[in-house]
Amino acid sequence: MFWKLKQDENIKEAELRYNPVIITVNEFNEEAAHKFCTDMAKAQNTGQPIIPIVIDSYGGEVYSLMRMIDAINTSKIPVATIVEGKAMSCGVILASCGSKGQRYIGSNATLMVHDVSSGNWGKNAEIQSGADETKRLNEKIYEILAKNTGKEASWFHKKINKRGRADWFVTPEKAVEIGFSDIIGVPTLIVDMKVDYKFGV
Protein backbone atom coordinates (compact mmCIF):
# COMPACT_ATOMS: atom_id res chain seq x y z
CA MET A 1 0.00 0.00 0.00
CA PHE A 2 1.15 3.54 -0.77
CA TRP A 3 0.40 7.02 0.46
CA LYS A 4 0.84 10.11 -1.66
CA LEU A 5 0.77 13.85 -1.14
CA LYS A 6 -1.70 15.87 -3.19
CA GLN A 7 -0.60 19.50 -3.01
CA ASP A 8 -2.48 22.66 -4.01
CA GLU A 9 -0.76 24.58 -6.82
CA ASN A 10 -0.79 27.68 -4.58
CA ILE A 11 1.57 25.96 -2.13
CA LYS A 12 5.24 26.32 -3.05
CA GLU A 13 6.82 24.38 -0.20
CA ALA A 14 5.28 22.39 2.62
CA GLU A 15 6.35 19.85 5.19
CA LEU A 16 4.10 17.61 7.23
CA ARG A 17 4.60 17.79 10.96
CA TYR A 18 3.76 14.09 11.15
CA ASN A 19 3.85 11.62 8.29
CA PRO A 20 0.81 9.32 8.23
CA VAL A 21 1.33 6.02 10.01
CA ILE A 22 0.88 2.89 7.89
CA ILE A 23 1.44 -0.28 9.93
CA THR A 24 2.88 -3.40 8.30
CA VAL A 25 2.43 -6.82 9.91
CA ASN A 26 4.61 -9.71 8.71
CA GLU A 27 5.13 -11.58 11.99
CA PHE A 28 3.25 -12.30 15.18
CA ASN A 29 5.70 -12.34 18.07
CA GLU A 30 6.44 -10.16 21.10
CA GLU A 31 8.70 -7.78 19.20
CA ALA A 32 6.18 -7.34 16.38
CA ALA A 33 3.32 -6.84 18.86
CA HIS A 34 5.29 -4.18 20.74
CA LYS A 35 6.04 -2.27 17.54
CA PHE A 36 2.42 -2.62 16.44
CA CYS A 37 1.12 -1.09 19.67
CA THR A 38 3.71 1.71 19.54
CA ASP A 39 2.69 2.57 15.96
CA MET A 40 -1.00 2.43 16.87
CA ALA A 41 -0.40 4.92 19.69
CA LYS A 42 1.60 7.19 17.36
CA ALA A 43 -1.17 7.17 14.76
CA GLN A 44 -3.65 8.60 17.25
CA ASN A 45 -1.78 11.94 17.10
CA THR A 46 -1.00 12.45 13.40
CA GLY A 47 -4.38 13.83 12.41
CA GLN A 48 -5.00 11.02 9.92
CA PRO A 49 -8.64 9.88 9.67
CA ILE A 50 -7.87 6.15 9.48
CA ILE A 51 -5.04 3.75 10.36
CA PRO A 52 -4.08 1.38 7.52
CA ILE A 53 -2.74 -2.00 8.65
CA VAL A 54 -1.09 -3.94 5.84
CA ILE A 55 -0.93 -7.69 6.48
CA ASP A 56 1.34 -10.12 4.63
CA SER A 57 2.03 -12.98 7.03
CA TYR A 58 2.16 -16.74 7.52
CA GLY A 59 1.02 -16.27 11.12
CA GLY A 60 2.73 -16.74 14.47
CA GLU A 61 2.00 -16.50 18.20
CA VAL A 62 -1.63 -16.19 19.29
CA TYR A 63 -0.81 -14.19 22.43
CA SER A 64 0.89 -11.54 20.28
CA LEU A 65 -2.17 -11.48 18.04
CA MET A 66 -4.39 -10.86 21.07
CA ARG A 67 -2.28 -7.86 22.09
CA MET A 68 -2.64 -6.41 18.59
CA ILE A 69 -6.41 -6.93 18.64
CA ASP A 70 -6.65 -5.12 21.99
CA ALA A 71 -4.78 -2.17 20.44
CA ILE A 72 -7.26 -2.07 17.56
CA ASN A 73 -10.25 -2.26 19.89
CA THR A 74 -9.04 0.68 21.97
CA SER A 75 -8.17 2.90 18.97
CA LYS A 76 -10.08 6.18 18.73
CA ILE A 77 -9.54 6.15 14.95
CA PRO A 78 -11.08 3.65 12.51
CA VAL A 79 -8.73 0.91 11.34
CA ALA A 80 -8.42 -0.42 7.79
CA THR A 81 -6.92 -3.87 7.30
CA ILE A 82 -5.33 -4.58 3.91
CA VAL A 83 -4.20 -8.09 2.95
CA GLU A 84 -1.39 -8.12 0.42
CA GLY A 85 -0.06 -11.53 -0.58
CA LYS A 86 -1.28 -13.63 2.31
CA ALA A 87 -2.94 -13.54 5.71
CA MET A 88 -2.65 -16.98 7.25
CA SER A 89 -3.42 -18.25 10.74
CA CYS A 90 -3.11 -15.20 13.04
CA GLY A 91 -3.05 -13.02 9.92
CA VAL A 92 -6.61 -13.80 8.86
CA ILE A 93 -7.90 -13.14 12.38
CA LEU A 94 -6.24 -9.71 12.42
CA ALA A 95 -7.52 -8.96 8.92
CA SER A 96 -11.09 -9.59 10.06
CA CYS A 97 -10.69 -7.07 12.91
CA GLY A 98 -10.67 -3.98 10.71
CA SER A 99 -13.52 -1.48 10.84
CA LYS A 100 -16.55 -2.72 8.91
CA GLY A 101 -16.39 -1.50 5.33
CA GLN A 102 -12.63 -0.93 5.64
CA ARG A 103 -11.32 -4.49 5.31
CA TYR A 104 -9.48 -4.87 2.02
CA ILE A 105 -7.89 -7.84 0.28
CA GLY A 106 -5.66 -7.77 -2.80
CA SER A 107 -7.04 -9.55 -5.87
CA ASN A 108 -4.15 -12.06 -5.75
CA ALA A 109 -4.06 -12.54 -1.97
CA THR A 110 -4.86 -15.72 -0.03
CA LEU A 111 -6.33 -16.23 3.44
CA MET A 112 -5.87 -19.38 5.49
CA VAL A 113 -7.76 -20.51 8.59
CA HIS A 114 -6.80 -23.37 10.90
CA ASP A 115 -6.93 -24.50 14.52
CA VAL A 116 -4.50 -23.10 17.07
CA SER A 117 -1.31 -25.18 17.04
CA SER A 118 0.21 -26.65 20.20
CA GLY A 119 3.80 -27.66 20.85
CA ASN A 120 3.35 -28.89 24.41
CA TRP A 121 5.82 -31.25 26.01
CA GLY A 122 6.88 -32.30 29.51
CA LYS A 123 5.10 -34.18 32.29
CA ASN A 124 1.59 -35.49 31.73
CA ALA A 125 0.01 -32.76 33.87
CA GLU A 126 1.92 -30.09 31.94
CA ILE A 127 0.83 -31.54 28.61
CA GLN A 128 -2.81 -31.64 29.77
CA SER A 129 -2.62 -28.06 31.02
CA GLY A 130 -1.16 -26.97 27.69
CA ALA A 131 -3.89 -28.83 25.82
CA ASP A 132 -6.58 -27.08 27.87
CA GLU A 133 -5.04 -23.69 27.07
CA THR A 134 -4.83 -24.54 23.37
CA LYS A 135 -8.51 -25.47 23.42
CA ARG A 136 -9.38 -22.18 25.17
CA LEU A 137 -7.43 -20.15 22.60
CA ASN A 138 -9.01 -22.07 19.75
CA GLU A 139 -12.49 -21.25 21.04
CA LYS A 140 -11.46 -17.61 21.48
CA ILE A 141 -10.23 -17.42 17.88
CA TYR A 142 -13.48 -18.74 16.45
CA GLU A 143 -15.50 -16.41 18.69
CA ILE A 144 -13.57 -13.45 17.27
CA LEU A 145 -14.15 -14.64 13.72
CA ALA A 146 -17.84 -15.15 14.47
CA LYS A 147 -18.18 -11.62 15.85
CA ASN A 148 -16.35 -10.09 12.88
CA THR A 149 -18.24 -12.01 10.19
CA GLY A 150 -21.70 -12.23 11.71
CA LYS A 151 -21.61 -16.02 11.67
CA GLU A 152 -21.75 -18.51 14.54
CA ALA A 153 -18.49 -19.93 15.94
CA SER A 154 -19.91 -23.39 15.25
CA TRP A 155 -20.06 -22.50 11.54
CA PHE A 156 -16.26 -22.24 11.45
CA HIS A 157 -15.81 -25.45 13.45
CA LYS A 158 -17.98 -27.29 10.91
CA LYS A 159 -15.96 -25.89 8.01
CA ILE A 160 -12.70 -27.03 9.58
CA ASN A 161 -14.16 -30.39 10.56
CA LYS A 162 -15.15 -31.08 6.94
CA ARG A 163 -11.48 -30.74 6.08
CA GLY A 164 -10.36 -33.09 8.81
CA ARG A 165 -9.11 -30.07 10.83
CA ALA A 166 -6.69 -29.32 7.96
CA ASP A 167 -5.75 -25.85 6.71
CA TRP A 168 -8.59 -23.99 4.97
CA PHE A 169 -7.46 -21.69 2.13
CA VAL A 170 -9.77 -18.87 1.07
CA THR A 171 -9.78 -16.79 -2.14
CA PRO A 172 -10.51 -13.02 -2.14
CA GLU A 173 -14.00 -13.59 -3.55
CA LYS A 174 -14.78 -16.16 -0.88
CA ALA A 175 -13.27 -13.89 1.79
CA VAL A 176 -15.81 -11.18 0.93
CA GLU A 177 -18.65 -13.71 0.78
CA ILE A 178 -17.78 -15.12 4.23
CA GLY A 179 -17.20 -11.70 5.79
CA PHE A 180 -13.46 -11.77 6.45
CA SER A 181 -13.05 -8.85 4.05
CA ASP A 182 -15.28 -6.16 2.54
CA ILE A 183 -13.52 -4.98 -0.62
CA ILE A 184 -11.25 -6.62 -3.18
CA GLY A 185 -8.44 -4.21 -4.02
CA VAL A 186 -5.63 -2.26 -2.34
CA PRO A 187 -6.44 1.34 -1.37
CA THR A 188 -4.19 4.43 -1.41
CA LEU A 189 -3.97 6.97 1.40
CA ILE A 190 -3.99 10.50 -0.05
CA VAL A 191 -2.83 13.48 2.01
CA ASP A 192 -4.54 16.50 0.46
CA MET A 193 -2.83 19.83 1.21
CA LYS A 194 -4.65 22.92 -0.04
CA VAL A 195 -5.03 26.65 0.49
CA ASP A 196 -8.42 27.70 1.80
CA TYR A 197 -9.18 31.43 1.46
CA LYS A 198 -11.83 33.02 3.66
CA PHE A 199 -13.10 36.60 3.67
CA GLY A 200 -15.57 38.31 5.94
CA VAL A 201 -16.19 40.32 9.10
Q: What are the catalytic residues?
A: 89, 114
Q: What is the DSSP letter of 82?
A: E
Q: What is the DSSP letter of 1?
A: -
Q: Which helix (H) or strand (E) holds 140?
A: helix 124-149
Alpha helices, DSSP H, located in 56-152: 62-73, 90-96, 124-149
Angle at 145 between CA 142 and CA 146, to 5 degrees: 85
Question: Are the C-beta atoms of 106 and 85 separated by less than 8 Å?
Answer: yes
Q: Tell me the torsion sign for CA atoms 84, 86, 90, 93.
A: positive
Question: Are the C-beta atoms of 195 and 12 separated by less than 8 Å?
Answer: no
Distance between CA atoms of residues 165 and 178, nearest Å? 19
SS3 176: helix
Q: Which helix (H) or strand (E) holds 89?
A: none
